[in-house]
Structure 1
Amino acid sequence: MKKALKFVYAGLLGGALLLSGCSETTGSKEEVVIGVTQIVEHPSLDAAFKGFKKALEENGYKEGENVKYDVQIAQGEMSNSQTIATNFVSNGVDLIFANSTPSAQSALNATTDIPIVFTSVTDPVGAELVAAFDQPGENITGTSDTHPEAISSTVNFMLKDIGAKNIGVIYNAGEQNSEVQVEEVKKIVEAGGGTLVEVSVSTSAEVKQAAESLVGRVDAIYIPTDNVVVSAFESVVSVANDQDIPLFAGELDSMKRGALAASGFSYEDLGYETGLMAVAILKGEKTAADISVEYPKNFKLVINQEAAAEQGVEIDASWEAEIYEGE
């Protein structure tokens, strides 16, 4: 009788262990894992990620409960970006949030199966991420951080309202994202009778020297949404303030860091739009192939009064722009 009871107890114990194992497996499947790959840390990209998380949380994906973010920063290195993407694929993440052009390119190189949503990408078509805005890839879609009028609005303001003839631009020639913007700036400047003075850098440590090299050669400086340069934006601000050179940025997040003016939008809003795309994919409502790439919304020209004073610019009441109020 004792042997029989031991046998029954052992069977019940084994069954309980099996049930326990099944429960853990089910629980792990209920938690969504999102791989977040970002080329560098700077305010615009960080704001985009904040907006992305907000969209997911508002739609039922709460960090620590049913979603986990594996956040990896490539420190500006393309090789690191590719390794991050490869590791995400090996780990079997459920979705990849690629925050920048290099990050999105690396993710697409690594997988054609895992859904990818990107943001902070200037030219998704030129970067060969999608065939067209309304023709996303089988596993990739997202948002562009360049409004069709963003660059022309800012550069024409520099030419016509500020009266700049020689405009300097600092960018990383290794970023496809930046090359596209510089080409656009050049066309607009030359069409307006001005000259574009280009200085390229490879690392953030070179940015201040690049800014100093423009002193005496330009009437104003324009910084595109270049990840390397924006990460060291304060270096350009210090030169612009010391030398009374009007400094313009390609995105609004640089306003609080000392830019005189920018045409743009909120990167947090852009990340939020991207997050809604991720929600639709995660819930099985759509695939990436069903979601067109989108431009940012709420576009505007903004002027920073404090920076204007620092850079020797008198604000004209006729300028059609919003005044930066700070945070």
Structure 2
Amino acid sequence: MAQRIILADPRGFCAGVDRAIQSVQTILQASSRDIPEGLAPVYVRRQIVHNKHVVDDLHAQGAEFVQELSDVPDAAAEAHIPVVFSAHGVSPAVQKEADERGLWIVDATCPLVAKVHREVVRFVNNGYEVVYIGHRGHDEAVGVVGEAPEHVHLIESEADVPSLHFEEGSKLALLTQTTLSVDETAGTIQALQQAFPWIEMPPKADICYATSNRQGAVKELARQCDCVIIIGSANSSNSVRLMEVAREALGDRGRAYRIDDAGELQDEWFEGVETVGISSGASVPDELVQQLVEALRSRGYGDVETLDGVRENMHFVLPPQLKEFRKARA
């Protein structure tokens, strides 16, 4: 049988990532050339999305990425230089800091993440404690927990459930990080329901459609391949999970790897491999996939086909602050 490549579908950019990247690009394209000396045309708090290639590309175009708002020069507010919040969202404390400094904020938080923020506020205002399943330290989780730190209890797995203590019958709700799937949280949710049978489950609409679709595609991909390559950065939660899903689906039949780009391929990965499957995280540009395809073609994988998958038509409008920005720059 000829060596071949199968591309997962869907893969790559989701609507929230596309919206966040377009937000920064829109500012860069509309910015005048008379930016005060020493200032960037746009500042972005943290990585706009968790992909180093996207960040490096936007930085090369002029975007300045900062870890905290304190790293944004005071002169940026005076010059009305936009500061973009990443797709992962921020806590009220960060928003308050921006307001106090008079920074011109463009909020590129994914609407699905923003929805979870609103749910936290609604539950807490109604007297609930919230159990939140997420990755400790992940930007999205930090922002959500920051809505009400004393009432939102973050856990990462079922092993953390015994550390929780709530009175029987108390108001208790469950929410999850949007990049986690039903499969990924099933064991933790079961443990929570056993410990606290009255806990209210998260709305199904909170499950990120892109996460579910991409994991489903990778499961099917793994059934047809000897080796699966996932493109995505190490700090991308959904990319790492795609690799884990592929490994689980492959079992002893094959291997799965995560890479940032084709330059990380190792020849020994493909010994005895006839079919290589490719997918990518929700923040990965498709050009990296095409570069990987070309690298594999040079290794003899000449046939390329695409796995039929879910058709995605989700689209999010750009942040409303961009309309004001365009008017100011017109």
* Larger Rg belongs to: 1
Q: Which has the higher contact order (CA 8 A, sep 6+)?
A: 2
TM-score normalised by structure 1 residue count: 0.39
Question: What TM-score, normalized to structure 2?
Answer: 0.39
